[in-house]
Amino acid sequence: MRAKRSSSIAAAACRNYSPELIELGLDIFNPFQPEVMDPYEIKQKYGRKLSFLGGMSVQKLLPFGTPRAVRDETLRLLEQVGRGGGFIIAPSHDMTGDIPVKTWLPLSTPSLTENYDMARPITLCAGQWADLPLEVLADKAKGFGFDGLELCCNGDHFEVARAMSDSGYCDRQKQTLAKRGLKMFSLSNHLVGQAILDPIDQRHKSILPTHVWGDGDPAGVCARAAEELKNTARAAKKLGLHVVNGFHRLERLAPALFVPAGSPDDDRRRLQAAGQAVPSDPRRVRRVRRKIRVGGPSDGNRFDIYTAERAIEALDRRPEFGFNFDPSHLIWQGVDPAKFIRKFPDRIYHVHMKDALVTLDGWSGILSSHLNFGDSRRGWDFRSLGRGGVNFEAIIRALNDIGYTGPLSVEWEDSGMERERGAREACEFVRRLDFEPSRVAFDAAFDKAAQAK
């Protein structure tokens, strides 16, 4: 059989490997399931005569393990089974629907595996820099020490309409960053997101694209904003991104205070309306996930752990919805940011590094007395990273515990500090703060059995 063919022969066997297969002319063995055989032992015995495809458990590790555990096993398989060639790392069988995207990404994305030993990338959220041309901002971000930019759909940084109409637009925007050694990990459309559920008034006219504002009719504005966010997800796919960050104001102050009393059904209705802003057909936007951002302005959202849970339930736990974790919008509400991370370990799709400080003095209230940001009379305000009240040490440890390996994006806001100094200082702060978790317990060094290996 081998003498009459020019192609390789692969065989699938769901049980133990049989050496007789080599005599029959087999070249590649699949599925190479770790549940029924030891990949390391089989490769050592038959690696000179046979290649192997698979090795990554779809019954245990991929559906139930953490991204970090998948990365560890990926590296072990590549180093030990892949040594000398003859091994194609892959899931040991078909990928089932219960395997989260964030779990298999370390296996399917080579760059993530290659950068395993590096700290998480640090990016700069471009929203607060929309007054600068993208090329100018990219130069500054590189000079500040950032690894990439979280592009926002403001100014000339990223235009969703052009991404939809111009086939080369997304590549040109990426090249602008790549020339400066910067990367993209997410796309943000905060301002349009606010127009989906917020009562529409003249405030929105100044922040929305002209084609979204239209004639200003509230129903039409909301509908066009929802369509714009769908297009943002489609644009993210063109960019090769998996995360789109939004910002929803789910309700106004009166319902938050329950005066008059509101109905839990109102929350569900508003949240389900937000869900309509996401293309649910995987054939149209495959693996592009829209993320609802936690928190909001002082007169907007009332997110805490309880309401965040209700949001997930109201959206039927759709995997497309998760959180762009932002501790600055939790701390002033008295919510422990680290506890939020641990409550929703599979819903933290992106992280904003942003600080805030509660400054209650007996005169102002926590809702800030309708004073603008930067007014010293407010009951809380944003601060440059490390100058507020957020315990970032606890956050980094919580992110390590859940296996979050995505970017740490600095959304810099501090009305009392010059922004370029603040951005540089913030990048340095996060760089010093972030660390990889230990892969062994500290007392493992005392284990004599481990020392003997």
What are the domain boundaries of the chain? 2-114, 122-433
pLDDT at 92: 78
Whether the CB-CB separation of 84 and 124 falls below 8 Å is answered with no
pLDDT at 161: 94
Q: Locate tokens 């020490």: which residue?
A: 145
From 444, 425, 438, select the one nearest 145 (Cα to Cα): 425
Distance between CA 67 and CA 75 in Å, rounded? 12
Distance between CA 233 and CA 286 in Å, rounded? 10
pLDDT at 19: 64
Q: Helix, strand or coil for residue 352?
A: strand
Question: Is the sign of the CA dihedral 45, 48, 49, 52 positive or negative?
Answer: positive
pLDDT at 115: 41
Q: In 410-433, which positions are buried (b, 16+ CB within 10 angstroms) versus exposed (e)? A: bbbbbeebebeebbbbbbebbeeb
pLDDT in tens, the chain (453 residues): 444 444 454 445 544 555 666 666 667 777 677 877 787 777 777 777 777 888 888 887 877 777 767 777 887 788 778 877 888 888 877 777 667 766 666 666 544 444 444 469 999 999 999 999 999 999 999 999 999 999 999 889 999 999 999 999 999 999 999 999 999 999 999 888 888 877 888 888 888 999 999 999 999 998 999 899 889 999 998 998 888 888 765 444 334 444 444 555 666 666 666 555 554 433 333 333 334 333 333 233 446 898 888 888 888 888 888 889 999 999 999 999 999 999 999 899 999 999 999 999 999 999 888 899 999 999 999 999 999 999 999 999 999 999 898 999 999 999 999 999 999 999 999 999 998 876 655 555 566 665 555
Looking at domain 122-433, its CATH class is alpha beta
Q: Which residues are paired to 29 by β-bridges?
A: 11, 52
In sequence order, which residues have a C-beta less than 8 Å from that of residue 259 and are 6 or more positions away?
none
For the entire predicted model, the pTM comes to 0.68
pLDDT at 300: 39
pLDDT at 377: 94
pLDDT at 207: 87
Q: In 342-354, which positions are buried (b, 16+ CB within 10 angstroms) versus exposed (e)? A: eebeebbbbbbbb
Q: Which residues are paired to 350 by β-bridges?
A: 324
